[in-house]
Amino acid sequence: MKHTGIARRLATMAAVMALAAAACTSPGSSAGPAATSGGGGTTSPTQAAKQYVIGFSNTGGTGNGFREEQNCTAKAEALASGQVSKVVMIAHNTDSAGQLSDLRDLISQGVDAIVFNPSSADALNPALAEAKTAGIKTVAVDAYVTDPDTWNFYNNQVDYAYLGATWLFKYLEANGHANGTIWYTRGIAGHPADTDRHTGFTKALSEHPGFKVLPSKDGVFTGWDPTTATNLANDFINSGDWDKIDGVWTSGMDSQVVDAVKAASKTQKPIVGADLGAFASYLLDSTKYQGLVGAAVTNTAAVGGAGVAVALKLLNGDTLTSDPASTRPNTLLLKPVLADNVTDAGKQTLQSWQSVQGLNPIWPLSVTLPDWTHYTAEQAVACKGPGE
């Protein structure tokens, strides 16, 4: 989500990405928390004779920085590719039934491929089958679908949650809270990414059975909406439950919790969040956010742009290789990276996650994706597709 600053690479970033087995940054990309791709390759940008129309469906709207950045990176990749004449984008807050209708709308408009952030793993399959019949390629980003002919490109969401939760439990154990209590906040109920993250969190919890979870082991859903997250945090604080917990695991609505705690003049608790601009800056600001301890885990919104790159590969007849680390077919995975503010290495990584001028603090810092996207960070911020 969006930050300010001048895009630059740091040696620390290269070291961290080498340790994480991440690929080097692609030309024109900004420094930021990259993630490792588990397979596939890139479609080289070229002025191809064939010009494609790409449909894009997203069920998150204004105010959700991750979704906003995802939409903009899709437009930027379409523009940078030189192979897309138009992006038909339908991005608004809706449920699975609404997205099913949106996909059918894109099919009726005769697009060549549809890239979409799925609201459900299987509820969209009827429209995806219709797309195949119409000769339309389909690519799911940020989460997976069970349709056998759709390619999935997303952050390993099970690992995302497991990585952050394990860090939190181990940190608390090392600091005298081995039987502590965790406030567990989630995303959208039923969303494939939320389901995967719950699997990862639950796995970590099973390995550290001394911890209790509030409001329950099923957590509380924020809808990945900043206003909802803020209201939930205020209610939690006012109920007195904040004083009973030892740590917080969030599914990306992190800075909202920190701000609510600060506004209430309460003591910050160890917290895990995502690589969002505001949250990363909070972790490094020891003056304004005294006592704040936490870790950020990468979850790039640049999968929007990468999804367009995947769609172009499919349209051009290129071969993709499914990630062997995935149990799902037709899947490309990104490996998440964690950085905390309690170790020198973690602080250096957070500091290396610089962004680009004009980036909103609620956007993820990873504006581009090594080996997949071809636009500049500035193009992502401009949010312009072909013909715009």
Mean pLDDT of 209-215: 96
Distance in Å from the first CA to the final CA of the chain? 23
Mean pLDDT of 182-187: 98
Mean pLDDT of the residues in the chain: 88
pLDDT of 46: 47
pLDDT of 290: 87
pLDDT band with cut points at 50, 70 and 90 for residue 2: very low
Q: Give the integer Cα–Cα distance in Å for 64 and 72.
A: 13
Determine the 3-state secondary structure of 276 from DSSP: strand
Q: Give the integer Cα–Cα distance in Å for 76 and 227.
A: 28
pLDDT of 1: 36
Q: Which CATH architecture has domain 32-155+301-334+367-382?
A: 3-Layer(aba) Sandwich (3.40)
Q: Give the integer Cα–Cα distance in Å for 352 and 10.
A: 6
Mean pLDDT of 155-174: 97
Domain ranges of the chain: 32-155+301-334+367-382
For residue 61, what are the contacts with CB-CB under 8 A and spacing of at least 6?
Answer: 67, 91, 92, 93
Mean pLDDT of 61-67: 81
pLDDT band with cut points at 50, 70 and 90 for residue 98: very high
Strand-pairing partners, residue 186, are 221
pLDDT tens-digit series, residues 280-297 = 999 999 889 989 999 999
User: Does the pLDDT at position 114 exceed 50?
Assistant: yes
User: Does the pLDDT at position 161 exceed 80?
Assistant: yes
pLDDT tens-digit series, residues 218-273 = 999 999 999 999 999 999 999 999 999 999 999 999 999 999 999 999 999 999 99
For residue 180, what are the contacts with CB-CB under 8 A and spacing of at least 6?
Answer: 172, 210, 211, 212, 245, 246, 247
pTM of the model: 0.83
User: Does the pLDDT at position 15 exceed 70?
Assistant: no
